[in-house]
Amino acid sequence: MEDLTITQFGAPDAPYCQQETAKVTIIPAPLEYSVCYMKGTEHGPQAILNASSQMELYDEELDCCPIEIGVYTCPVLDYNGMDHAAALKATGDTVREVLKRGQVPLILGGEHSLSAPVIAAVHEQYPDLTVVHIDAHGDLRDEFEGTPLSHASIERRVVDMGIPLLEIGIRSFSPEEAAFMKTQPNVAIVWAYKMAKGLATIPWERLGKHTYVTIDLDAFDPGEMPAVGTPEPGGLSWYQVLDLFREICHRTMIVGMDVVELCPMPGQERADFLAAKLVYKMIGYRWCDR
């Protein structure tokens, strides 16, 4: 198990993992610079790839094999010798190459700060972009622990870019974020406690034609997803997140996405498997849901 190094998501046979014919390019991004509590998210992308090799490739809900749309996985990004800013820039540049090929980027994290340069690159191509952020945390601080590049500031950078933002599953929010949010008509928040009580209305009308979806795995309840750096009680369930993602697919065109903050832990391999299967369900809903 420990020596396993899967390089193609789902470990499919050719031709389903070829770069030229793929519809989606998976970018494994082992970024870890500003993690504040539990370290290890740099091992997240490889753990997802490894777990993906154990998945069944048939989707019983969609009655097809989503891998057949063409899912290319590029080599794991190498941040050796780079500082945080350089690593973020390299991540954004990789996304630009993927977009140039007409493919949708799907990034495996790695810490959440990677979403900012990725979203910036997608936004260059789709100026009408909306971001949907599924997370326990608001991530709206102007800076955190002295850096505006922090994982805890990623959505503030999105707001800075002038991109409308819809946050779902939130249950950890600072006073600064609460005050900021109330001044931002372009930011909508769906609180986890309201979802748990069946009282949440999701303002889907805020989505435009093109959408970027970022999923921080700590959005899930820690009972289902224990392997994250900053767990929060009262999270979303597996089927809740799948339903949210499917609804987004029905309402808009997803042109970029990421799954971030997996922090693999010995004895909690179920978390790696959840992340891998989530990525596969996202691909299925995005391309195969007719």
> Is residue 13 annotated as involved in ligand binding?
no
CB of 63 to Mn ion, least distance (A): 34
Q: Closer to Mn ion at the Cβ: 82 or 265?
A: 265
Which neighbouring-strand residues pair with 212?
131, 256
Q: Closer to Mn ion at the Cβ: 98 or 271?
A: 271
Q: Closer to Mn ion at the Cβ: 42 or 135?
A: 135
- Beta carbons within 10 angstroms of residue 197's beta carbon: 9
CB of 22 to Mn ion, least distance (A): 29
What are the angstrom distances between the C-alpha of 171 and each of 134, 136, 184?
Answer: 11, 5, 19
Q: Closer to Mn ion at the Cβ: 10 or 110?
A: 110
> Is residue 151 annotated as involved in ligand binding?
no
What are the angstrom distances between the C-alpha of 97 and each of 30, 129, 145, 190, 283?
Answer: 18, 19, 32, 33, 20
Residues 53-82 that bind Mn ion (CB under 5 A): none
CB of 138 to Mn ion, least distance (A): 9
> Is residue 289 annotated as involved in ligand binding?
no
CB of 152 to Mn ion, least distance (A): 8
> Is residue 135 annotated as involved in ligand binding?
yes
CB of 232 to Mn ion, least distance (A): 8
Residues 121-180 that bind Mn ion (CB under 5 A): 135-137
String marking each residue 81-120 x if it binds Mn ion according to CB under 5 A: ----------------------------------------
> Is residue 216 annotated as involved in ligand binding?
yes
Q: Closer to Mn ion at the Cβ: 71 or 154?
A: 154
Residues 186-225 that bind Mn ion (CB under 5 A): 216, 218
Integer Cα distance of 62 and 9 in angstroms? 19
CB of 215 to Mn ion, least distance (A): 10
**Cross-sheet strand order for the sheet of 210-216:** 71-73, 24-29, 104-109, 253-260, 210-216, 130-134, 165-170, 187-191
Residue with tokens 């950078």: 157
Report whether 41 contacts 218 (CB < 8 A).
no
Integer Cα distance of 113 and 92 in angstroms? 11
Nearest to 226 by CA among 20, 40, 74, 69: 40
Which neighbouring-strand residues pair with 106?
26, 257
Write down the H helix ranges in 101-174.
115-125, 154-160
> Is residue 139 annotated as involved in ligand binding?
yes
| N-to-C CA span, the chain | 37
Q: Closer to Mn ion at the Cβ: 24 or 48?
A: 48
# binding residues, Mn ion (CB under 5 A): 5
Positions at the binding site for Mn(2+): 112, 135, 137, 139, 216, 218
Residues within the interface to Mn ion (CB under 5 A): 135-137, 216, 218
Positions at the binding site: 112, 135, 137, 139, 216, 218
